[in-house]
Structure 1
Amino acid sequence: MEFLVHTQVNIPHGLYTQAEIDEIYSKEAERGRELGDAGIIKRLWRIPGRRANYGLWEAADATELHKILAALPIYPFIDVEVIPTAAHPSDPLTRDRA
């Protein structure tokens, strides 16, 4: 099942050193690569000017997706919106062009 996932990073100012923040982002980048290699993150788009993104994620169901998101190194610092998707008959990538 595919999900459109929106995340907004909100690390509180003044509670962490820059080194700690850099470590969080480093661990998050590594985990993101792993999830991409595993086919869980299928696409990822940055929102310019913000610490936010939209991604196309794949999981068996919403419960599995929640477990994956909750295990992210940056999870304590993000607001997440998850939108389940369904096939559309007019999708130009999948419709019958005959």
Structure 2
Amino acid sequence: MLFAVKMDVHLPPDMDSDVKADILAREKAYSQEVQTSGEWPHIWRCVGQYSNLSIFDVDSNQRLHDILSQLPLFPYMHIDVTPLATHPSDIALLERNP
């Protein structure tokens, strides 16, 4: 199942710098682990924002929830999830199924 996920991060401005550095390091390590697994095949930065747009390829809604809720930055995020389906005008689909 494919999902487009927009994650907006809102860290408290008065967050301790050591706490912030720790959370960001854990976030990077965890997100790269999930990317390596193949469940998080794409991540893009949204220009001018502290946010990203990602594509997840997971087996279930629950699996996506588990991944997202384990992100160290999860308590500081607003997350929008959009389930994706193949579009009938996708030329890649036409090439696979002539």
Normalised TM-score (structure 2): 0.91
| Partner SS for 2:94 | coil
CA distance in 2, matches of 1:27, 1:60: 24
Cα deviation for residue 56 of structure 1 reads 0.5
Q: Percent identity?
A: 29
User: Could you tell me the TM-score, scaled by structure 1's length?
Assistant: 0.91
Aligned to 1:58: 57
Following superposition, which runs of at least 4 residues in structure 1 exceed 6 angstroms of deviation? none
| 1:51-96 per-position Cα deviation (integer Å, ceiling 9, x unaligned) | 1010001111212111110011111110000000011121133323
Deviations 1:24-46 (A, max 9, x none): 11111111110110001111110
Q: Hey, what's the Cα distance between the residues in 1 that align with 2:57 and 2:12?
A: 30
More helix by share: 2
Q: Kindly report which structure 2 residues correspond to 1:71-82, keeping only aligned pairs within 5 A, or say none.
A: 71-82=70-81
Root mean square deviation, CA, Å: 1.3
5 Å-filtered alignment, 1:1-98, equals 1-14=1-14, 16-96=15-95
Letter in 2 for 1:67: D
Counterparts of 2:49 and 2:88 in 1: how far apart (Å)?
33
Query: What amino acid is aligned across from residue 3 of structure 1 in structure 2?
Result: F
